[in-house]
Amino acid sequence: MTNDEGYHSLTPHEVAEVLESGAEVFLIDIRPPRQFHQGHLPEAISLPADDFADRYEREINPDDSVILICEKGLNSIAAAKFLISQDFTNVALLAGGMIAWREMQGESD
């Protein structure tokens, strides 16, 4: 469900379902490169928050379906709001971030 800001949150299980369905979606991981290389979702693109505004146009287009990923699920909110302001219409974020994803996978920090 889309919130008033124009993006929606997906649980780790919902993201897994999207990936399993084969839907065309861009997974954008906005964590720093060090965290990305320690573990990330399959097919995720590293686009760190520090470079996001300068680099996003090289990776994704407003018509693309995008799921944003950060560590806790909070930093991706700013990226989602930014993309909405740039006329993106299908923007989601991983609720709880990689912490929630790892918990779903049975991993711990």
Cα of first residue to Cα of last residue in the chain, in angstroms, is 30
Question: Is-catalytic flag, 91?
Answer: no
Give the burial class of 109: count Cβ atoms within 10 A of its Cβ; 0-12 exposed, 13-18 middle, 19 or more buried. Answer: exposed
Residue that is written with structure tokens 């740039």 in the block: 86
Catalytic pick from 28, 70, 94, 100? 70
Q: Which residues are catalytic?
A: 70
